[in-house]
Amino acid sequence: MTESARTTGSHGTAKGNEAIALQDVTFRWPRSPSPVLDIAALQVDRGERVFVAGPSGSGKTTLLNLLAGVTVPKSGRVEILGQTTSAMSGAKRDRFRADHIGLIFQLFNLIPYLSVIENVVLPCHFAKSRREKACQRSGSTEAEALRLLGHLELDDPSVLKRSVTELSVGQQQRVAAARALIGEPEIAIADEPTSSLDADLREAFVKLLFAECDRQKTTLVFVSHDRSLATLFDRAISLPDINRAGN
Amino acid sequence: MFVLTLALKSLKNRSFTVGLTVLSIALSVTLLLGVERIRRETKESFTNSISDTELIVGGRSGAIQLLLYSVFRIGSATNNISWESARDIAALPEVEWTIPISLGDSHQGYRVMGTTTDYFEYFRYGRDRALAFDRGEEFDDVFDAVLGAEVAFALGYELDDEIIIAHGAGQVNLVEHADKPFRIVGILRPTGTPVDRTVHVSLEGIEAIHIDWRDGAPPIPGLEISADRARRMRLRPQQVTAVLVGLESRISTFTVQRSVNEYPEEALLAIIPGVALQELWTLMGVAERSLLAVSGLVVLVGLSGMLTALLTSLNERRREMAILRSVGARPLHIFTAIVGEAGVVTVMGVVTGIAMLYGSLFVARPIIADRLGLYLEIGGISRYEWVLIGAICVAGVGIGFIPGYRSYRYSLADGMTIRV
C-alpha cells in the first residue's frame, strides 16, 4: 500500500475540498454484540480516485451503505460534500443520494425490461438536479446518455437496440457506469464492478471510467478485492487496516 | 408519473403471469356481474310471472294462497267461485276482460288448467309479453289441449298425441279420466313462468270429464257418459277456481277490488298480483342474498390470487428494487409502483371481465331464452353494478397495499444490497 488512510484524529474536518469525511464511525447490526465497522477517520478529496481493497467480511458492504447514506452509523459522523448525512432523515438521505451519488455494482445492474438508454437515464427521473445537468450538457437526457455511452465505446446502434439481458457482462457494466455518471453526480461509488469481467477487460473498463470521471471531475470510490488494479488509482486504502472492528 | 410507467413496463415484461392473474380476476368479475344479472332477471321474471292483470279473484282465503294456486299452480283452492259470480265480475263496467281458470286435475304431475280462449289473447307476462305458439293453435274442441313448453319437452309430446288427465294433483295413485282422452292441438313457446308447466284445456273440457262424477267420486258403473255424448251436451261450467281480471284503467283497481271483496252473494277475495308477488319474493330474499354472497366470495378468491401472484413476484424482484433504490428511488416510489401495479392489474381484470360478461350474454341469451324462457336484457351497466365494480377496484388497490408495504420494508432493509 502506498499510503494508508490519512488519519487526522482531530474533529476539525477540512471544509470545502473534501468529498467524503468519516469521523469515529462505528456500525453494529441490531442484536449483534460487536461492531462490524469501526473507523477512526477517512477522508477523500474532491476529484480523487480512491481504491478501497477489502476481502469479503471486512465491512465493505457496510462502508458502502454508510457512504451512500442507506444506513447511518451507530456513532460518529459521516460527511458527504460538506453535509452531515449521518444526521439526516431517511428521506433526506435518499434525496441526497439521488442528487449526488452514482453507484455501480458487481452484477445485475440493469433493469431487464428497460432499454439501454432507459436504464442509463433512470437517475434523471429521481433527481431533478441531475436531469437539469444532463439536459444542460446535451439538450436532453437521452442525448446525454448517448454521449456517455459513446465515451464508454458503447454507442453502436445495434448494441443499443438489443435487450439489456442480451448484452455481454462487460457491456452491461459500461451501461451501469454511464448510468452512475449521468447528470454529473459529485461522487461515484463502484462496488466490485470488474469482478465479473475477464482480466484484460478490467483495466480497459477502469480506464474508461477514469476518463469520464476526469471529464466530469467526479470523485471515485472503487471497492475491489483485486489489488492488481490498485496502482491505477491516486490512492489505495486497505479496509482491514483502517477498520478497527473484527479481525 | 414515472414509477407508474415503470410499473407498466414491468407488467409487460411479465405478461404471461400477469395475463393469468388478469384472467382470474376477469372470471370472478364476470361471475359476480353474471350472477347479479341473472338474479335481477329472475326477480324480474318472477315478479312478472303475470303482468297486465290488475286483479285476481278467488274464493275467500289468504292472498298468498290465492296467488300460489292461481299463478304458480301450487297448492289448491279451498273454495271455488260460482260461474254466476265470475259472470258478474266480467260484467262490471270497469272490467275490460276476464280469464276464468279452473284447476284441480293434473297430468303426470303437471297441473291441468281449464280456461277460455281469452287466455291466449289477454294473458301477459314479463314486460308485456303475450303467449305465443311454438306449434299448433288454440283449443277448439272440448277435448283439445294446449301444452306449456316444459310439459311438451319433458314428456316428449307432439301435436296430435293423446293424453289422459288424472283427477286431483300429484303423481301416484290418482284416478284417471281414462275414458275421455285429450288431443294435443298446440304447444306454447317457453315463457319462464308457470305457464310452461301447465296443460291448458277448455272449461268445457274440465266440465266434460267430471260430468258423470258424483260428489267427487268416479261414476258408478252403468252411469258413465261417453266422450262423444259429453261433447254433444253443450256443457256450461258450474264453477271456476279463480278469475284473472284486466281493467279498462288501472286507476279503478282499488274500486273494483273493494266491490269484489264486498260482493254480497258470495265470499270473494280480490288481490293485486304485483303487490302479492313482491311480498312473495321477499320470502325468497335469503336465497337471493346467499347467491350474491357466493359470487362475492368468488371475487375474493380472484383478488387473493392477485395477492399471491404479487407477493411471489416480489421476492424475485428484490434485485430490481435494489437497483431502483440505487438510482435514487425512495421507498415510497417502490410502494407506489407496487400498489399501482395492483391497481392496473385489477382494472385490466375488471375491463376484461365486463367484456367477457357481454360476450357470454350475447352467446348465452338465445340458449337461455330457449331453454329457460328467461329473457335476458342486454342493457348498460346498472348503477348497482357500477358500485360492485368500484368496490372491486378499491379492493384491488387496497390489496396492493400488502405487497406494497412489504416491498417498502424490503427496500428499507435491503437498501442497495443486491440479492442474487
CA gap A149, A137 in Å, rounded: 14
In Å, how far is A10's CA from the nearest CA of chain B?
Answer: 31
Provide, as residue numbers in chain A, all residues whose Cβ is less than 8 Å from the Cβ of B319: 108
Strands A187-191 and A219-224: parallel
Band the pLDDT of B79: cuts 50, 70, 90.
confident
Using CB atoms, which residue from A68, A97, A111 is nearest to B323? A111
CA gap A225, A54 in Å, rounded: 5
Using CB atoms, which residue from A64, A91, A122 is nearest to B327? A122
pLDDT of B420 higher than 70: no
Please name which of B141, B231, B240 lies closest in space to residue B185, comparing C-alpha atoms.
B141
pLDDT of A163 higher than 50: yes
pLDDT tens-place string over residues B10-28: 888 888 888 988 998 898 8
Contact (CB<8Å) A108/B319: yes
pLDDT of A31 higher than 60: yes
Q: Does B269 touch chain A (CB under 8 A)?
A: no
Task: Determine the residue of chain A that is closest to B2 in CA distance.
Answer: A125
Contact (CB<8Å) A126/B333: yes
Provide, as residue numbers in chain A, all residues whose Cβ is less than 8 Å from the Cβ of B333: 126
pLDDT of A246 higher than 70: no
Lowest mean pLDDT segment, chosen from A25-34, B95-104, B149-158, B407-416 = B407-416
ipTM computed for the complex: 0.81
Task: Determine the residue of chain A that is closest to B322 in CA distance.
Answer: A109
* pTM exceeds 0.90 for this model: no
What SS3 state is found at A198? Answer: coil
CA gap A78, A89 in Å, rounded: 13
Whole-Å CA distances, B279 to B67, B127, B351: 11, 19, 37
Contact (CB<8Å) B9/A113: yes
B414: enclosing H helix or E strand: helix B383-414
Using CB atoms, which residue from B323, B331, B412 is nearest to A109? B323
Torsions phi, psi for B145 (to 5 deg): -135, 145
CA gap B394, B306 in Å, rounded: 14
Provide, as residue numbers in chain B, all residues whose Cβ is less than 8 Å from the Cβ of A71: 415
Please name which of B260, B268, B203 lies closest in space to residue B58, comparing C-alpha atoms.
B268
- Higher pLDDT among residues B146 and B383, named by residue: B146
What the block records as the C-alpha cell of B346 is 385489477
What the block records as the C-alpha cell of B405 is 408495504
How many residues are given for chain A? Answer: 247
Please name which of B351, B345, B362, B360 lies closest in space to residue B29, comparing C-alpha atoms.
B351
pLDDT tens-place string over residues B202-221: 999 998 888 887 777 777 77
Contact (CB<8Å) A65/B416: yes
pLDDT of B381 higher than 80: yes
B390 and A44 in contact (C-beta within 8 Å)? Answer: no
CA gap B171, B197 in Å, rounded: 14
pLDDT tens-place string over residues A85-97: 888 888 888 888 8
Q: Does B329 touch chain A (CB under 8 A)?
A: yes
**Which amino acid does the sequence have at B157?**
Y
Q: What is the mean pLDDT of residues B72-89?
A: 88
Q: What are the DSSP calls for B206-244, one per residue?
A: HHHHTTT-BTTBPPPTT----HHHHHHT----SEESEEE
Beta-carbon contacts of residue B228 (< 8 Å; ≥ 6 apart): none
pLDDT of B244 higher than 90: yes
The size of the A-B interface in CB pairs under 8 A is 67
Provide, as residue numbers in chain A, all residues whose Cβ is less than 8 Å from the Cβ of B323: 108-111
Q: Please tell me the predicted confidence (pLDDT) of residue B86.
A: 92
Contact (CB<8Å) A112/B13: yes
CA gap B204, B237 in Å, rounded: 6
Mean pLDDT of chain A: 82
Provide, as residue numbers in chain A, all residues whose Cβ is less than 8 Å from the Cβ of B415: 65, 68, 70-71
What the block records as the C-alpha cell of A81 is 460534500
Band the pLDDT of B260: cuts 50, 70, 90.
very high
